[in-house]
Amino acid sequence: MITLKGIYKYYDSKFQRTFVLKDIDLEISEGEFVTIMGPSGAGKSTLLNIIGMLDEPSEGEYHFLDQPAHQLSEKKKVEFHRNFVGFIFQAFHLIDEMTVYENIETPLIYKGVKSGIRKGMVAEMLDRFNIVAKKDLFPAQLSGGQQQLAGIARAVVGKPKLLLADEPTGNLHSGQGKQIMELLSQLNSEGITIIQVTHNEEFARFGKRIIRISDGLVLSDDIVSDTNEPN
Amino acid sequence: MINSLKLTFRRLFRTGEHTTTRIISLIAGLAFGILLLSEVLYYYSFDSFYPDANRIYVVHENVRMDKSSDKMESYPRVSGAIAPGLKSEVPGIEAATRLNSIGTSVFYTEDKKSYEADFSLADECLFDVLPMPIISGNPKEILKKPMTCLVSTKVAKDIGGEVSGKIIELKKYPGKKLTIAGVFEELPENTNYKYDVLISMVSTSQFFSYDGTSNWMGNDRYYAAVKLAPGVDPKTLEHAVREMQVKHQDIEKMEQQMGGTVLKYSFIPIKKMYSEGAKDMILILTTIAFAVLFVSFMNYILLTLSALIKRAKSSAIHKACGAEARNLQQLIFSETFVLFFISLVAALILIWVIKPLAEAQVGHKLISVINPQVIWPLLSLMILLLALTSYLPGRFFSRIPVSSAFRNYNQKKNKWKLGLLSLQFAGASYILTILVVVSMQYNNLITADHGYNTEGIYYGETQGVEAGKISTLLNELRTVPGIEKVGLGHSLPIDGASGNGVFSSGREKELFNVADFYYIDENYLSILNIPVTEGESFSHGNSVVNDLLISKKGAEKLKVFNGWQNVVGEQVDISAHGISTIRGVFPDFIVKSITEPDLRPSVFYYYPAEKFEQIRADSPSFMFYVLIKTSKTAGSGMLKKITDIFNQFLPYRDALVKNLSIEQKAGYQSAQGFRNAMIAGNIVILLITVIGLLGYTSNEAARRCKELAIRRISGANLPDILRIFILDLEYVAIPAVLLGITGTWFTVSKWMQNFANKVPLHWGIFVGSSLFILLLVAFIAAVNYTRTANRNPVEALRYE
Ligand SMILES: Nc1ncnc2c1ncn2[C@@H]1O[C@H](COP(=O)(O)OP(=O)(O)OP(=O)(O)O)[C@@H](O)[C@H]1O
Ligand SMILES: [Mg+2]
């Protein structure tokens, strides 16, 4: 599904070029649950953003579903966001002036889903994540965990093939974090490919494969052994 | 779209987005800009309400004033025979008409009620060229029949009831009874030639001692308009017009005598006539309007972009949810649209609130501005501004790169903000300096020495006072304590004077033209404090009827033309008077006004009071004023006292007494309105700039709050910190201010070109207003940064 070949990312400042990602080669197939780990500043978010086509690599090739993503037009990228990927953020990033309902509805509107169908889809999400009662509240009126639930609902309401989660539990206490991780596992078992970034070793093990990067280089890429899996 | 509107309203009053300040700066800018631009467009809308206005031209007479100069002066008035002559002798002219104004007058109906209206004599072709809808009557018939008239719907309404058949009588022309025979729709205000009552031109001899309706030369007081056949260029008519002149005016002989062109006619498009005359005003009003609009929009965009930067993350979130650039632009568009719309409505309400004030400045009803020539261009401009203010931020917002939006986007250095801010500084110093110059020029006008005294002088019209009672009126006035002197005069310096020609002996040729004030008594000049420097002034007993006083300039001309050493005691021949003896010379004073000075030499003729009475007895429409000089200690209430006395002599008790000094100032109303527009513009632009500065410095202080704290901790004291921050701003402000005052210099020198009496453009003016702006910048920055700097540095760091 995802193929990265010789991906470089660097920023040029006045006097020097800072490399954030160096020669990343990566292959991720459909249905995987990948965890990316690494120290702060290692380039994890950058990598995730490149995969999510929110950012562009400075060099290298990126194929998504056999399409050369590094050559896609703006329009095609928007199509990609609408149809194939959902994002979950550490800071939740719900839209402040929209209610929970409207937040979840937003990707469907952009996708052009008809209002009748949209209602059903949003209702299903609210139901599934147990936030029906909160649907008319604004993000500021929710707890962190509830906000992240809404964030996940928004990410998956469009039935994406790929879910990108950048420290989804970073701003939550461990109880809430665990709940979120279980949700992700469940979504993965339903067939959604997930790539998450986390600093938490325990939560990392929810993934089936852990990639460790440091200083923009891939250090290791291991399959999580079943014995180590919690539960 | 509905969705984005909903979101807009939710966002509207969130704090920290400067919504209120953004709206205020837009409202101020829009209200001022709309007012000024509609005024300018209004100038261009003159007479455009006539059907086929593009084919209508006003005939101008271009005359060379005297032999010594090549300059042709152009007037929109011609002799009586010109309009019908053009129609019959110049192919391509479809219709031609002429109007002869009697001016504003009070008139009475038979039931003794009095009204006021503008009267004009018109020929029967009027509505062929300048049509107005007719409510009743046949205008062609009415305008052919002696002593019948048409009245406007306004006059008809004033009088009330069925007006046709009613008899009216002008106060100015007692005994001349006019029959109303029709009603036409009232003229809009935006016309070059205004009338409320049209009297048939065949009645001319009833109102004028001289009927010049078929004159080919002289008596050039007719407003003539022609309508050209479709597709005819007025330039192609030159030859035929010349033929007409040769045939009827004996123009070739005159040209020989004068040694060159004497008299030419030109056709000025009726729609352009007004704006051509107001060119300098239009230039400066337009630049000011755009400067204010520009600054207020720059400020709006600056504040909007600052607010958007705070929302950079949401741009990225929307993109992650699958929004395309177009969706984001739409989102911001609807936000700015709503803000713009609210501001526009508020601006219109504001204009409506200040309507009385604005109307006093512009001198016409604001409602008159509402016509297609004004509305369409304004509307287009508003749409353009809306598009710009909505498009630019939208584009900016949709282009925020996602990856950096998730980082601290607002921590970036924002050079462009300074750029936008500096444009505001440039605009502010531009307008401020213009204001200073315009105010100085205005003060110069009203305080300038006009060459005669106005202090404590009143004057009253004598129309309606019976001839036999004039002397009683004068005696009555002279007994009032506080009244020092009472005199008579045909006209006043502020009114200007009609022109008459000074002839060489034997009337062989006209030597030069004079501003003729006609008749004055022996008190007139001493009331106005105009001295006689050579010879002697008029005095009872010594002077005889028709004795002449001439201004210095005229005396000099006479010496040159006639080779005289001295003019006193000599005789001159002036048209409309014949030969008279020069008794003295007085210094030239300002005839009419400094802005529209009549630069010709001036003359006065002597009439004793008895002569004034006698002429009035012979011809009741002979007009003149009573001039009254009050003592310095007379105090207020004189106007009422004098008016009361006048009323004793008027059957309708409708005396019109005025104060000369007030009326003189009123002559500069347009200059005053202009200066006041400048003041308003300045208040608006300074307000906006202060808002912009406050916004900028607050943002900047917040952005650099950590830097401030660190500097404080490392021992910098407040003045050091302020110096650094303020200098940052001033480095931008100084070039901006220089740019602004350079703009001012160009604009003002262009504007002042036509002033005879210019204030010197002293460098101090420019330095002064530049310093003012720079100090204002420093002051506001100091206040705002001090607030931030005084916060506990530890706290500031903790927040980070
Ligand atoms: N727009 C940018 N300009 C300059 N440098 C950048 C930019 N974006 C990222 N970087 C740099 O790239 C490096 C990697 O950033 P990235 O956000 O990918 O790290 P991360 O692994 O996600 O760290 P964290 O665990 O703290 O989230 C950092 O050193 C950062 O300073
Ligand atoms: Mg990160």
| Domains defined for chain A, CATH in brackets | 30-53+73-209+217-228 (3.40.50.300)
In sequence order, the 6+-apart residues with CB closer than 8 A to the CB of A118 are A105, A108, A109
| Yes or no, beta carbons of A110 and B327 under 8 Å apart | yes
Neighbours of B384 (CB within 10 A): 10
A159 at B interface, C-beta within 8 A: no
Q: A54, B318: Cβ pair inside 8 Å? A: no
**Residue found under tokens 């002397």:** B471
pLDDT level of residue B799 (50, 70, 90 thresholds): very low
Among B313, B400, B402, B404, say which to mutate for ligand 1: greatest number of ligand atoms within 8 Å of CB.
B404
Q: Establish if B564 belongs to a structural domain.
A: yes
Nearest residue in chain B measured CA to CA from A53: B320
CA B215 to centroid of ligand 2, rounded, Å: 95
H and E: helices and strands count for chain A: 7, 10
Is residue B270 included in any domain, yes or no?
Answer: no
Nearest ligand, CA B402? 1
Ligand 1 atom index nearest CA of A43: 18
pLDDT at B74: 83
Residues of chain A neighbouring B335 (CB-CB closer than 8 A): none
Task: State how far the Cα of B265 lies from the Cα of B63, in Å rounded to an integer.
Answer: 9
Say if the ipTM goes beyond 0.85.
yes
Q: Report how far residue B613's alpha carbon sits from residue B471's, in angstroms, rounded to the nearest whole number.
A: 8
Co-location of B654 and B676 in the same domain: no
Give the pLDDT of residue B598. Answer: 82
- The more confidently predicted of residues A228 and B166 is B166
Is the domain of B542 the same as that of B438? no
User: Measured between alpha carbons, how far is B493 from A87 in angstroms, rounded to an integer?
Assistant: 84
Is the CB of residue A198 below 6 angstroms from any atom belonging to ligand 1?
Answer: no
Phi and psi at residue B298, to the nearest 5°: -60, -45
Give a yes or no: residue B306 inside a domain.
Answer: no
B387-396, B413-422, B765-774, range with greatest mean pLDDT: B765-774
First to last CA, chain A: 29
Our answer on whether the CB atom of A46 is closer than 6 Å to any ligand 1 atom is: yes
- The reported pLDDT for the residue numbered B366 is 85
| pTM for the model | 0.80
Note whether B325 contacts A: Cβ–Cβ < 8 A. Answer: yes
Q: Give the pLDDT confidence of A9-51 residue by residue, as tens digits.
A: 998 877 888 899 999 999 999 999 999 999 998 999 899 989 9
Q: Which of B230, B260, B290 is the last residue of a domain?
A: B260
Choose among B776, B780, B785: nearest CA to B700: B785
Q: Is the model's pLDDT at B800 over the cut of 60?
A: no
CA dihedral B704, B22, B8, B380 (to 10 degrees): -130
Beta bridge partners of B97: B225
Q: Do B79 and B212 sit in the same domain of this protein?
A: yes
> Does residue B10 sit at the A interface (CB-CB below 8 Å)?
yes
Is there a single domain that holds both residue B215 and residue B83? Answer: yes
Closest CA to B214 of B83, B90, B93: B83
Q: How many domains does chain B have?
A: 3
What is the C-alpha to C-alpha distance for residues B186 and B175, in angstroms, rounded to an integer? 27
Whether B321 sits inside 8 A of A110 (CB atoms) is yes
Q: Which residue has the higher pLDDT, B490 or B788?
A: B490
Q: CA-CA distance, B54 to B18, in Å (whole number)?
A: 48
Residues B584 and B696 in one domain: no
What mean pLDDT do residues B694-707 have? 76
Pairing verdict, β A33-37 and A193-197? parallel
Q: Which residue of A has its CA nearest to B402?
A: A54
Tell me the CA–centroid distance for residue A36 and ligand 1, in Å: 15
The answer to whether residues A88 and A148 touch, using CB atoms and an 8 Å cutoff, is yes
DSSP H helical segments within B660-717, as ranges?
660-666, 669-703, 705-713
Q: What is the pLDDT along chain A (231 residues), one digit of tens a residue?
A: 899 999 999 988 778 888 999 999 999 999 999 999 999 989 998 999 899 888 889 999 999 888 888 788 888 888 888 889 999 988 888 888 889 999 999 999 888 889 899 999 999 999 988 889 999 999 889 888 889 889 999 998 988 999 999 988 888 888 888 888 998 999 999 999 999 999 988 899 999 999 999 998 999 888 887 654 444
Q: Of the residues B260, B278, B297, which one is the last residue of a structural domain?
A: B260
Pair of tokens at residue B29: 């800018």
Q: Which atom of ligand 1 is nearest to the CA of B404?
A: 1
Ligand 1 in reach of A20 Cβ (< 6 A): yes
Which of A219-223, B173-177, B220-224, B357-361 has the weakest average pLDDT? Answer: B357-361
E-strand stretches of B222-369? 223-228, 263-269
Last residue of a domain, one of B666, B682, B711: B666
Residues B591 and B687 in one domain: no
* Contact between A54 and B317 using a beta-carbon 8 Å cutoff: no
Phi and psi dihedrals of B6, rounded to 5? Answer: -60, -45
Q: Is B396 within the bounds of a domain?
A: no
Q: Give the distance, in angstroms, between the CA of residue B333 and the centroid of all CA atoms in the same chain.
A: 39
Dihedral over Cα of B751, B754, B759, B761: its sign? positive
Do residues B100 and B121 touch, judged by C-beta distance below 8 A?
A: yes
User: Residue B16: what pLDDT?
Assistant: 62
- B652 and B734 inside one domain: no
With the most atoms of ligand 1 within 8 angstroms of its CB, the residue from A12, A14, A35, A45 to mutate is A45
Is residue B677 located within the same domain as residue B645? Answer: no
The proportion of chain B whose per-residue pLDDT surpasses 70, expressed as a percent, equals: 95
Is-contact A125 A157, C-beta < 8 A? yes
User: What's the mean pLDDT in B300-307?
Assistant: 82
Can you tell me the mean pLDDT for B412-418?
A: 71
Domain presence at residue B20: no
Residue B373: band (very low, low, confident or very high) from pLDDT cuts 50, 70, 90: confident
Same domain, B532 and B651: yes
Q: Give the span between the Cα atoms of B468 and B375, in whole angstroms.
A: 56
Return the residue of A nearest to B407 by Cα: A45
B514-523 per-residue burial string, b: 16 or more CB within 10 A, e: under 16? bbbbbbbbbb
Average confidence (pLDDT) over B407-436: 79
User: Phi/psi of residue B606, each to 5°?
Assistant: -95, 130
User: Would an 8 Å CB–CB cutoff place B317 in contact with chain A?
Assistant: yes
Instruction: Indicate whether B466 and B528 sit together in one domain.
Output: yes
Residue of B nearest to A91 (CA): B406
Crossing angle of helices B355-362 and B325-353, in 10° steps, is 80
> Using one digit for the tens of pLDDT, what is the confidence trace for B741-782?
999 998 888 888 777 677 888 889 899 999 999 999 999 888
* Sole residue written with tokens 């400048």: B678
Same-domain pairing of B171 and B255:
yes
pLDDT at B602 over 90: yes
Q: How far apart are alpha carbons B21 and B307 in whole angstroms?
A: 12
Per-residue pLDDT of B500-545, as tens digits, reads 878 877 777 677 778 999 999 999 999 999 999 999 999 988 889 9
Cα B600 to Cα B354: distance, rounded to the nearest angstrom: 42
Question: Residue B476 belongs to what domain range?
Answer: 457-666
B718-722, long-range: CB < 8 A, 24+ apart: B718/B786, B718/B789, B718/B790, B721/B785, B721/B789, B722/B781, B722/B782, B722/B785, B722/B786, B722/B789
Q: What is the mean pLDDT of chain B?
A: 86
Q: Which residues from chain B sit within 8 angstroms of residue A52, using beta carbons?
A: 320
Q: Are residues B651 and B727 in the same domain?
A: no
Secondary structure of B474-491 as H, E, C letters: HHHHHHCCCEEEEEEECC
Q: Terminus-to-terminus CA distance in chain B, angstroms?
A: 37
Higher pLDDT, B774 or B444: B774
